[in-house]
């Protein structure tokens, strides 16, 4: 692994999308993902149950990798790797 790859692997960001409904939450997530370097991860905090189904599908359709989906109280964390 090169030093550049090690740096990219450590890039992690979070985006709070609670209160934002589909499809706007995916649009905002996609803008943030597109700004990240390849290999970086973005954790999305969502409270729209439809987002738990739709965002992972949309992310994979765009070539991203869904790392994890974790329920937390009345919300979810979706971690996506660019």
Q: What was the pLDDT predicted at 3?
A: 38
| Pairing between β-strand 75-81 and β-strand 12-16 as defined by DSSP bridges | unpaired
Query: Residue 12 — very low, low, confident or very high, per pLDDT cuts 50/70/90?
Result: confident
Average pLDDT over residues 55-64: 98
Q: Spelled out in words, what is the top-level CATH class assigned to the domain 3-81?
A: alpha beta
| Torsion from C-alpha of 25, 31, 34, 37, nearest 10 degrees | -90
Residue 4 has pLDDT above 80, yes or no: no
- Cα(71)–Cα(82) distance, rounded to whole angstroms? 21
Beta partners for residue 25, in sequence order: none
% of residues, the chain, pLDDT over 90 = 84
Please state the domain extents for the chain.
Answer: 3-81
| Pairing between β-strand 12-16 and β-strand 41-46 as defined by DSSP bridges | parallel
User: Which pair of structure tokens corresponds to residue 37?
Assistant: 């370097």
């Amino acid at each position: 692994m090169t030093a550049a790859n090690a740096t990219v692997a450590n890039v992690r960001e979070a985006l709070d999308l609670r209160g934002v409904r589909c499809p706007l939450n995916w649009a905002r997530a996609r803008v943030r993902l597109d700004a990240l370097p390849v290999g970086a991860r973005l954790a999305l905090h969502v409270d729209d149950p439809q987002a738990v189904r739709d965002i992972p599908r949309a992310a994979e359709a765009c070539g991203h990798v869904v790392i994890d989906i974790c329920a937390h109280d009345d919300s979810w964390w979706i971690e996506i790797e660019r």
